Amino acid sequence: MIKVVAASVAAGDWHLLRADPFLMRFMFGLLTPKYKIIGASVAGRVEAVGRHVTQFKPGDAVFGDLSVCGFGAFAEYVAAAENAFALKPTNLTFEQAATVPVSAVTALQGLRAGQIQAGQKVLINGASGGVGTFAVQIAKALGAEVTAVCSTTKMKMVRSLGADHVIDYTKEDFTQNGQQYDLILAANGYQPIAAYQRALRPQGIYVMSGGATAQMFEAMLLGPWRSKKGGQKMGNMLARPDQKDLMLIKELIDAGKVTPVIDRCYPLFEVPDAIRYLEAGHAQGKVVITVEHTN
């Protein structure tokens, strides 16, 4: 049992809340929600443990992903299996730590699906969002040359994360400027899959980890077919909670190579406002929920 100190809002939370796309109803409740309390990414202190728990003890500061344990992060307490958690990085606040488990692991798994290697040219579309801010930093930590795509007002923040090049999508279409990349990670935004293919090198890989519903279906349905046209590979990636990946991210954070970006914090009773704000698409980095406990 975790005494929740902070949680963070991810795109998956409002997709789950809205049942959008409609296919989510078949996984999470056709007519009524399967889970009454949402929220996956959490940080807090261990309040109590079951008799078979060996990794943690009461009082430990932890963070984790509850998406395979019934969700429930937007609450004062939550219970989940021990393999959903890792010890919180000591150099992060609980608010910062709560941003990591879903978004940073998604970024890591997306880059890994793209077979990232040191020295490659990597483009991150949606670089200013929750997954994108982590993807820029992780790609740099892995030795890539990173081009980040975001809007005008977010360029300064994205540059501060270490991006080698930043493209303002309101002024320039990266699929039309003649540049090609070894790996494109689509963390947000929208471009037709044919446009992404044009921006890939002959053996390049496109990975869709988030963005518009149309983009998701194009990656699922058209990606395999387009991959057969040549050496390029195109498809989507569904992130999965992984304790080892979470601990790898912790190592990068401990080494100072990855730092969470927080846009704003909301108290627990304003979760609906936090979800609406994220859904509007204006967030720079992560939106955090803080939980105050009283006697």
Q: What is the pLDDT of residue 188?
A: 84
Q: What is the pLDDT of residue 137?
A: 98
Residues present in the chain in total: 295
The full set of domain ranges for the chain reads: 2-99+260-290, 102-236
Asked, colleague to colleague, whether 2-99+260-290 and 102-236 share their fold, the answer is: no
Q: What is the pLDDT of residue 251?
A: 97
Spans of the chain, pLDDT less than 70: 21, 26, 211-215, 217, 219-221, 223, 225, 228-230, 295
> How far is CA 125 from each of CA 24, 134, 198, 215, rounded to the nearest angstrom?
24, 12, 15, 12
Q: What is the reported pTM?
A: 0.92
Report residue 244 as tokens: 């080892």
Q: What is the pLDDT of residue 153?
A: 94
* 31 phi, psi to nearest 5 deg: -110, -35
Which fold would CATH assign to domain 102-236? Rossmann fold (3.40.50)
Which residue's entry shows tokens 């692991």? 105
Q: What is the pLDDT of residue 12?
A: 84
Distance CA 24, CA 15 (A): 8
What is the b/e burial string over 137-175, where b = at least 16 CB atoms within 10 angstroms of the residue's CB? bbbbbbebbbbbbbbeebbebbeebbbeebbebeeeebb
Per residue in 116-142, pLDDT (tens digit) is 999 999 999 999 999 999 999 999 999
Distance CA 96, CA 6 (A): 9
Residues 6 or more apart whose Cβ sits within 8 Å of residue 215: 186, 189, 190, 191, 193, 208
One CATH from 3.40.630.150, 3.90.180.10, 3.40.50.620, 2.60.40.10 for 2-99+260-290: 3.90.180.10
Strands 286-290 and 2-9: antiparallel
